[in-house]
Structure 1
Amino acid sequence: MSAPTVTRQPAVPQPWQHHDRTTLLDSGSYLIHRDTVTQPDGTEGAFEFHQARVDGALTVAVDDQGRIAMVRYRSYVHGEVLTPGGDVDPGQSPFDAALREFHEELGLDLRVENPDVVDHPRLLAVAHVPPTAHWPVAKTGHYFWGGTLTREQMARIRLSDEHTEWRSAPVRGWKDVMCDRDYKRLMFVDRARRSGTTVYQERTTARQLDRHGAPRDFEGIVVFVTTPDGRLLMNLRDRKPSIAWPGYWTPVAGWREGIETAFETAAREVMEETGVAVRDLRVIAGPRHELVSHHTVVLHGTCEGDDSALVLGEGQANRFVPYGEIDKLVGPTPPYVGHYLQLIGG
């Protein structure tokens, strides 16, 4: 009779034992630690590891005219002009970090100044920021709503030593003082503020397209809506200096809302401004006109009807204009109109 087989159970590994820690480097956002440990096999030794503080928290506040408050940093590392914010400290939540940074950088404690904002925290946006030449680790930024600041509150702003100035301005007013990367992020955050929707953004080396071939990271659209008999739907824009092409005859254009796709933004803007249901939307292929921002998607769509079917939802007037009469309109048209009409065969 053979001897019974004995199955040996593997030894239960012991947990790591941590004895003490020495921080070799603490640069604020990057740390190097050396721990004295006992490993699961009983061996004692040192374990060295690197730790990056990768979470940031920022606050978006506006003045009584809806203009966004920004600060200028002394250092180029973070970006020269940004909303108030900074790193999330160990043991701190992103929202608490945003409140702390706002207080430290502007001298205003939102717990006192805008308590309703603190009682009802609102996360506007989350942005994944990949490494750059000046910032070698990826970060995740949390943007929180800071509410509206009164003129009296803004008069009491006192900057920290990190900054040289602050001011408030419409989104378009920041374009010339911010790098393109930071301006694009500002438009994305303001879209969340306007729409009341939390949005997510990540930046990759290659531009990502949706299933219709439109960029996912767009912020505005221009729609060339044409009829089978060769007319272009045009809108006479208001004479407001804060908008693009004030007082011009343009195709329908507008800003993205919430998490819309380019096609959804186009359909909504055409309906809101003119009452027309556009169909057969497509991205216009071909070279971009130099006066059209690369944050804008240019599309072509079709419809049927005449001026009697149009509803004025925005601007001064709407018209279906024959291609050959566009140059004869009483009022200027942007130079890009002819460029894109050629691309769609108009």
Structure 2
Amino acid sequence: MTTIPTSAPDDLPGPLMTDEAYGALRASAALWAGVSVLITDSCGRVLVQHVDYRTTCLLPGGGIDAGESPSHAAARELHEELGVTMTIAHGLAVDWVSPTNSSAPAVMRFPGEAIFVYDGGTWTDDRIDAVCLPEQEITSIELVEPARLPDLLSPSDARRAMSALRARLNGGGPVLLEDGHPIAPTVLDRVGVLRTARDQSHYEFRTGPVPTALLTVRQSWGWLFAPDGRVLVLLEPDTGAACLPGGTPEPEDQDSPVATLIREADEEAAAQLGDPHYLGYLTADGDPYARLRYAAALRSIGPMRADPATGRMYTRVLATPEQALELFNWGPPAADQLAAVHHARERLGIPRAPRQSFTELTGPTSW
């Protein structure tokens, strides 16, 4: 007869169980252990590896060696696979992969796996160009839109990568996953943010008045600030796509971009705002349109209702301006727009918000 040990790994064996028997018992429930590293570029595209031993792509990473810590394994794998030396210090997720949710051949007798997902950061073009691939295994790397991950990775790998990417965007710390699904989904998980390809809109941002003789105002969008320095972002529940409040001019606006913004903010988000401050406009070479940007303080949020123009009922969230930009693919020119946004925030007397979890606005709120 033996006593039943507790489940804590550092508990001593019971008085009637030998060290050998206790070790054998724990070994019988052993798991594989692995690491993945999530790396993006300045446009929010994810680095994936094409390999010569399977048909699907992978994030950088691999198995943890005996006696090796997960963070050291992640750093080692980056060096072996990409020729990059870096310290791995921030985790994004830990995923429990069940024995029945793996594509491993039956002969492997896959026992389940714990995979640690680490944040490899945002890499510059120079750093990506400096990648040195090994002679075997990794045939190439590719930077892809997050929405393409399910097409390129295995289903379990894609779920894990998307969950880790949303955890990084959310800024709330590492998340626990089971077969790639968060056990405590955030609003980003629930809406499915980034599951739809983002429009590539690398428009130049220009301050100063719009040359109306050359350009027609096509949009009027707003960076609408809550008192804590975060801005209102709208998420489409059917696609997961994000947008700022605003839209296209209507005859009732009487050629006033400010009137367009005020009307659209009310229709889309039931948002009332203070006096808008003009930031500038976006345009591209050969494009006859101007897309105006404003900043304003939020005064109140009413009960949510469907947008009369689209029939959509958006999910309203607050995010830092930097987090909001990560929801779009606006490219390098977005840095100039972000600088103008923060300059307007300072003029409005609103503090800069630290990175934090997205907050959903479900009911009426006044400031």
Q: TM-score, normalised by structure 1?
A: 0.47
Please tell me whether Structure 1 or Structure 2 has the larger radius of gyration of its CA atoms. Answer: 1
Highest RCO, 1 vs 2 (Cα 8 Å, sep ≥ 6) = 2
Structure with higher strand content: 1
